[in-house]
Amino acid sequence: MDQKGIAPLVIVAIIVVAVVMVGVAVLVATRGEEGAPGGEGGEGGGDIGTATSLSFDVEVREPDGDVTYTGTFKGKNLGAANFKFRMEGTVAGVEFKVIADAGTEKAWAWNSATGWMDVSSYFQTYFDQYRAEFESYQEQLSGWTGGDYTYTDPTTGYSVAMSNIEVNPDLPDSLFQAPI
């Protein structure tokens, strides 16, 4: 294979590695205990289980206090066949963005090394994984009543802090489209 054929494979490999890293971080973060409400203040909880859209920030820390993952999650049409989500964050110092839209079966990934890439050919694999992770966070929030929300993963000891939680925010469709 010549160099022109290798370059796209390297780019796809970088994206796959970044996506897997995000998946591992999110999976670790979502295996915690349910119902450990966090701090005071903030907007009221609402019923997370019947929400149609959801937005929140996440910070995952190792037991020694080092931050391993920070990110923002936004989801629209929760529980529907046309569910859409957007994740942006940093894992191990690498910035990433992932967008997926089940209604169009389109997906995009971004990192600082490659920029935006259409990864729709891998749509179902990644969508199933990230939908499950998003829904795990949503389930974690089932006991949320307002303010920030924290819990500790009993297996790893990682602490997960969720903040800027918004139930049923108005999320424009443009959030779920890559600029390519």
Q: What is the dihedral of CA 14, 18, 19, 21, to 10 degrees?
A: 140
Distance, CA of 163 to CA of 166 (rounded, Å): 9
Instruction: Please report whether residue 177 resides in a domain.
Output: no
Give the range of the structural domain holding residue 76, as residue numbers without chain letter. 3-171
Instruction: Please report whether residue 128 resides in a domain.
Output: yes
Instruction: Please report whether residue 139 resides in a domain.
Output: yes
Helix, strand, coil percentages for the chain (3-state, nearest 5):
30, 35, 35
Instruction: Please report whether residue 132 resides in a domain.
Output: yes
Domain count across the chain: 1
Q: Which region holds residue 3: left if phi is over 0, alpha if psi is between -120 and 50, else beta?
A: alpha
**Paired residues of 75 in beta bridges:** 54, 85
Instruction: Please report whether residue 178 resides in a domain.
Output: no
Distance, CA of 127 to CA of 66 (rounded, Å): 29
Stated as kind and residue range, the H or E segment containing 70 is strand 67-76
Q: What is the dihedral of CA 92, 9, 174, 103, to 10 degrees?
A: -110
Instruction: Please report whether residue 40 resides in a domain.
Output: yes
- pLDDT tens over the chain, length 180 residues: 554 544 444 344 344 444 444 443 444 444 443 333 333 333 445 578 789 999 999 999 999 988 888 999 999 999 899 999 999 999 888 899 999 999 999 999 999 888 999 999 999 987 888 888 788 888 889 889 899 999 987 778 899 999 999 999 999 999 999 988
